Structure 1
Amino acid sequence: GKQGRGRGGARSAHAHFSLGRKSSGNNLRTDKWLVVDRKVYNVIAWSKRSPEGRQGPASQVSSLQDAFRAFHPDLEFVRKFLKPLLIGELAPEEPSLDHGKSSDITEDFRALKKAAEDMNLFQTNHLFFLLLLAHIVAMESIAWFIVFYFGNGWVPTLLTACVLATSQAQAGWLQHDYGHLSVYKKSKWNHLVHKFIIGHLKGASANWWNHRHFQHHAKPNIFHKDPDIKMLHVFVLGEWQPLEYGKKKLKYLPYNHQHEYFFLIGPPLLIPMYFQYQIIMTMVRRKDWVDLAWAISYYVRFFSTYVPFYGVLGTLLFLNFIRFLESHWFVWVTQMNHIVMEINLDHYRDWFSSQLAATCNVEQSFFNDWFSGHLNFQIEHHLFPTMPRHNLHKIAPLVKSLCAKHGIPYQEKPLLQALLDIIRSLKKSGQLWLDAYLHK
């Protein structure tokens, strides 16, 4: 393919690139190019700063048009930031898809998204989100009233903790909506409200969440790319990892019992220990003073509210008990859609196929919608992350039809089965590890 040079050795914005082949002298091992709408962008500076960008082979090229469109509701605004990185465009004879991705599935998915736009499914019902925020604030008020009126005995304290844990879980689902830019048309308003909810209502960091969560969305259930399956040798997941650990005789823990010790170190400890420590250290290490200020405002409010009833030490224990309860809720809901699905190395599938391989749904009901923050529609949420959650059920039938057309499994199950499948999946992976450890 042809490559042009501008003045000073820089590649010209009018250069043509053939990404499937290398031409000596123009391609460096450190090159990392991004292709969007057939335009080629040099993202090496970004990849050096990104933990994900430092992984994988050098001289990478990615065609991410569908991912780019999925994450950015205002494409024209984002292109202003991409413009300085533009170094050329694909040669006319070059296909816009790489790694053998299915062009038929890709085109059908783009038609599906266009249909969703025509159906106004990306339009927000602002009353819906206002009521969600109102019921969170109401629970915070009810929790204070219980202790104020009934005192700090065991029964009022346990009841208050349950109400506040429910409030925290619902605030977690709500910040997720604003973090995905799915409420307001203007990104800056989504970002501002996101910082308020995750910072002032939960004591966490918006930037920490964004950095972690969008890596998960871009490559769900892909080892070395999805931070949500980085289990620090505590669990082995899927089929590939347990076999690799078993063949290499790696035994950090007795993985054949992981479906049992999951109850001891998974749901109880993720938020009160791992996430809490990681969030604080990330804000301090990155000098993210804005997010830190928002988080401090949460702790000031919480301690000023409950220290009069429990004292400083009692309030600290009370806070961690609330997070202990919330952690169970969070882990079960988030893992029922992912951990039971394919977890493997990157096969470079098209956007639609990769999301379907890593996600499943839980049946719709008013309780399931509320309980999971509409993450029971995990498939649709991963395909259309900026779609307001109250519209996900409307696009689901069209997604099912597209899956049926291309023979792609669309998994939907009852809530209880989805929760039990977490344990079954851990047990299956643990047994695969044991068999490989003993016999391979």
Structure 2
Amino acid sequence: MGKGGEKGEESGECKAQIPFYTWEEIQKHNLRTDKWLVIERKVYNVTQWANRHPGGHRVISHCAGEDATDAFQAFHINPTLVQKFLKPLLIGELAPGEPSQDRDKNSQLVEDFRTLRKTAEDMNLFRASPLFFSLYLAHIIAMEALAWLMVSYFGTGWITTLLLACILATSQTQAGWLQHDFGHLSVFKKSSWNHLVHKFVIGHMKGASANWWNHRHFQHHAKPNIFKKDPDVNMLHVFVLGDTQPVEYGKKKLKYLPYNHQHEYFFLIFPPLLIPVYFQIQIISTMIKRRFWADLAWAFSYYMRYFITYIPFYGVLGSLSLLTFVSLFPTMPRHNFWKVKPLVKSLCAKYGVQYEEKPLGKAFVDIIGSLKKSGDLWLDAYLYK
């Protein structure tokens, strides 16, 4: 009894020695040479570990000085395994009086969202269908093989070329979405298997680098549509979107923008230039103009207004439907998005967030309207501010 009591007292002393930190202190450690973050109320110093982070140092660095609980759960398919790497980095805990969320988040909404995620896990919505992805890969390979056989048998005539353009455009687009699935670790339970097939699909079928894609795309989901942090919109003066960037660059008298400058002539002079349209599709599909995890309620309200839940074209645009759920659940297999949709709609209804669904035509009208609005804002700032 005596020894047991001494051991208990010793454990209590060790536990009492764990330092507690306030958010004011934690938020100071968000520098390149000093990075702290919080996961489930535990404080970790990731300054040295950031350079060894498998997802890249920028992804984890973006969460420095912040609560990274939701991002941690969203990106890791085996959190228990990752916890082993976190133990040596533990330096303390949040002080008892401190809220679990930072930067004035709606704590009740965050808890409700985490409950929603737990419900999705209990429904096995994070479990992929091997048959779905096997058939998906098989039909892409079949289309690629058909294209080669057509060239070898029929040659390169105009009719053959037009047919091949349709077949290869479809197969390459679908291969792009398939590599996206494996890159998101949403197919296999082991990360290494996902990475292996991802390298095959993007490398051998798309001719791109898996490491390059991971480096950029993980940052995109860590800070969706955050200028200077999300590589997909960090195009400096090239793609200026939204309400604030056009005004900012208009005041600086920058005028070499692809569609903001004299926007009324954009589609007349450059009909093949669809890159800005692609970026607008992506922005409107996810519609997260500032860090998602920083203000979940605001994000729900903003992007749900332009939420595209169904796009009936398989070939070039197929898989854009339900794209928003990738930001909510990055590792969820896409064939389960429609199952989690009612849960998300219910959460939106609870907090009075408008949940809007649009047909394809209306979505493209809104895209053109958004482009015109950005151009008008830039032009006004350029001329008068």
TM range (shorter): 0.7 to 0.9
SS across alignment from 1:61: coil
Tell me the distance in 2 between the aligned counterparts of 1:393 and 1:126. Answer: 18
| Among 14, 18, 22, the residue aligned to 1:15 | 18
SS across alignment from 1:182: coil
Alpha-carbon spacing, 1:346–1:66, altered in 2? closer, same or farther (3 Å): closer
Cα distance, 1:114 vs. partner? 1.2
Show the counterpart of 2:266: 261
Show the counterpart of 1:382: 327
SS across alignment from 1:40: strand
Show the counterpart of 1:70: 74
Show the counterpart of 2:371: 426
The count of residues paired between Structure 1 and Structure 2 equals 363
Q: How does 1:287-366 map to 2 (within 5 A)?
A: 335-339=280-284, 344=289, 349-351=294-296, 353-354=298-299, 357-358=302-303, 360-364=306-310
Tell me the distance in 2 between the aligned counterparts of 1:38 and 1:104. Answer: 16
Q: What letter is aligned with 1:93?
A: G
Is 2:124 the counterpart of 1:113?
A: no
Show the counterpart of 2:166: 162
Show the counterpart of 1:36: 39
* Structure 1 stretches lacking a partner, 5+ long: 1-11, 271-330
Cα distance, 1:184 vs. partner? 0.8
Cα distance, 1:130 vs. partner? 0.8
Cα distance, 1:204 vs. partner? 0.8
Q: What's the TM-score once normalised by structure 1's chain length?
A: 0.74
Cα distance, 1:411 vs. partner? 3.3
Q: What letter is aligned with 1:17?
A: F
Identity of aligned residues (%): 57
Tell me the distance in 2 between the aligned counterparts of 1:43 and 1:260. Answer: 49
Cα distance, 1:375 vs. partner? 2.9
Q: What's the TM-score once normalised by structure 2's chain length?
A: 0.84
Cα distance, 1:250 vs. partner? 2.6
| Among 244, 254, 260, the residue aligned to 1:250 | 254
Tell me the distance in 2 between the aligned counterparts of 1:363 and 1:28. Answer: 37
SS across alignment from 2:93: strand
Tell me the distance in 2 between the aligned counterparts of 1:178 and 1:396. Answer: 22
**Which deviations, in whole Å up to 9, do the C-alpha atoms of 1:309-358 show, x marking residues without a partner?**
xxxxxxxxxxxxxxxxxxxxxx7566424147767555973346436635
Q: What letter is aligned with 1:438?
A: L
Alpha-carbon spacing, 1:383–1:129, altered in 2? closer, same or farther (3 Å): same
Q: How does 1:52-71 map to 2 (within 5 A)?
A: 60-71=64-75
CA contact (8 A) 1:15 1:89 kept: yes
Tell me the distance in 2 between the aligned counterparts of 1:257 and 1:341. Answer: 27
CA contact (8 A) 1:14 1:88 kept: no
- Over the aligned positions, Cα root-mean-square deviation in angstroms equals 3.1
Q: What letter is aligned with 1:379?
A: T
Cα distance, 1:219 vs. partner? 1.5
**Which deviations, in whole Å up to 9, do the C-alpha atoms of 1:200-241 show, x marking residues without a partner?**
111111111111111111211211111111233123210011
Tell me the distance in 2 between the aligned counterparts of 1:104 and 1:238. Answer: 29
Alpha-carbon spacing, 1:261–1:333, altered in 2? closer, same or farther (3 Å): closer
Tell me the distance in 2 between the aligned counterparts of 1:13 and 1:260. Answer: 68
CA contact (8 A) 2:224 2:289 kept: no
Cα distance, 1:438 vs. partner? 1.7
Is 2:155 the counterpart of 1:210?
A: no
Tell me the distance in 2 between the aligned counterparts of 1:32 and 1:332. Answer: 37
CA contact (8 A) 2:185 2:195 kept: yes
